[in-house]
Amino acid sequence: MSGSSIGVLFRVTTWGESHGPAIGAVVEGCPSGIDLIEEDIQKVLDRRRPGRIVSSSSRKEEDAVKIISGTFKGKTTGTPISLIIENKDVNSSAYEDIKDIFRPGQGDYTYFKKYGIRDYRGGGRASARETAARVAAGAIAAKIIFREGIKIIAYTKALGGIVIKLKGDAAKKISYDDIAGDNLMCPDPDAARKMEAKLEEAKLSGDSLGGIVEIIVRGCPPGLGEPVFEKMDAVLAGALMGIGAVKGVEIGAGFKVAEMTGSQANDPIAPDGFISNHAGGILAGITTGQDIVIRIACKPIPSIAKVQQTIDVQGKHVEFSIKGRHDVSAIPRIIPVCEAMVSIVLADHLLRQKAIAHE
């Protein structure tokens, strides 16, 4: 009922609020004997941390992860793995002024209607702080999928209306090295500089920006996905839509299929494989063995310094502007979160496919 868990055989539960003492995750179903130390998870978490660039919040969290169960002598034991990350840089004073009002674009109104009580400090459970727990759990999932030869790369495709331009089929070849050195994890340096200028502009005007992240999964075997209610595309879309600020998910040609004819949209099959990939690597909810291609649309950060109109808990009109520390865009910090959610889904489905393995 609680909605804080995802997965069947590989199951992740996250817990914690933005301004509570800590956040964390419990990972169940991880096979035993996998090398796992805190540094493995820390490396991945460091990519999500705020404070690197103009688009990110000035909250300075170390995000130091501790493994408190499920490993012995640097290896997983097959028992539940508990991960904890302390919240250290907590400043709740900025939230006193807005504790009785519903901020537009946030979960304030809906959490209040659903639970009748809400932790208004930093967005509580709805805060992007919770995504650190997903990224930590995703680092474990990544270990399971990497050993099967699956690799995930995600990058900024658009920000503030500026879209990357890559020549030919360059997107198919993008590697981690192409984005690792860029602040925005963007493989097109010209577009990246324009995006940075847009972010600076938005910050100065007290506004925020949205964008698109593309995620490519390479080396995924055919056969993953559980028709009919847990088709791979359905589960991936659910996992990614479960990240705050994600308002759309496309697979393969995505919404463009609506304009195509059958002869354009179908991916012909030759003796040595598929000739195109409009399906984005998934047919009838099952992976084809081609690259899985996914895009998410990320809305602009709702916390903006501009004056906004809303109501308070009594329903009275209020005008206010947001103080506190906020990102200008969820991009690029959302990128490792997307990778984590895709890793968690694939790890679960790999283990489930092994359970029905056939010749």
Ligand X SMILES: Cc1cc2nc3c(=O)[nH]c(=O)nc-3n(C[C@H](O)[C@H](O)[C@H](O)COP(=O)(O)O)c2cc1C
Token digits of residue 238: 């659910």
- Measure the CA angle with vertex 118, ends 326 and 96; round to 5°: 55
CB nearer to ligand X: pick between 76 and 303: 303
Angle between helices 334-355 and 232-241 (to 10 degrees): 150
Residues found near ligand X in the complex (CB under 6 A): 57, 106-107, 123, 126-128, 131, 243-245, 299, 301-303, 326-327, 330, 333-334, 337
CB nearer to ligand X: pick between 186 and 245: 245
**Least Å from the CB of residue 188 to ligand X:** 21
CB nearer to ligand X: pick between 97 and 148: 97
CB nearer to ligand X: pick between 195 and 286: 195
Cβ contacts of residue 198 below 8 Å, gap of 6+?
Answer: 159, 160, 161, 162, 209
- Entry field: residues in the chain: 359
**Least Å from the CB of residue 66 to ligand X:** 22
- Distance in angstroms (rounded) separating the CA atoms of residues 39 and 85: 13
**Least Å from the CB of residue 301 to ligand X:** 5
Q: Which helix (H) or strand (E) holds 357?
A: none
DSSP structural state of residue 5: E
How far out from the chain centre does Cα 329 lie? 14
- Distance in angstroms (rounded) separating the CA atoms of residues 115 and 260: 45
CA torsion 52→54→56→62, rounded to 10°?
A: 30
**Least Å from the CB of residue 55 to ligand X:** 9
- Distance in angstroms (rounded) separating the CA atoms of residues 284 and 80: 33
**Least Å from the CB of residue 179 to ligand X:** 16
CB nearer to ligand X: pick between 34 and 249: 249
Residue 332, preceding peptide bond in cis (omega within 30° of 0): yes
Q: Name the β-bridge partners of 308.
A: 320
CB nearer to ligand X: pick between 187 and 244: 244
**Least Å from the CB of residue 243 to ligand X:** 5
Q: Within 13 A of 331's CA, how many CA atoms are on the CB side?
A: 31
**Least Å from the CB of residue 87 to ligand X:** 14
CB nearer to ligand X: pick between 81 and 126: 126
Strands 282-283, 151-159: parallel, antiparallel or unpaired by DSSP?
A: unpaired
Q: What is the CA radius of gyration of the chain?
A: 21
**Residue recorded with tokens 């169960």:** 69
* Neighbour order of strands in the sheet with 162-163: 162-163, 151-159, 211-218, 292-298, 246-251
CB nearer to ligand X: pick between 70 and 324: 324
CB nearer to ligand X: pick between 47 and 299: 299
Q: Are 327 and 56 in contact (CB under 8 A)?
A: yes
**Least Å from the CB of residue 348 to ligand X:** 21
**Least Å from the CB of residue 52 to ligand X:** 12
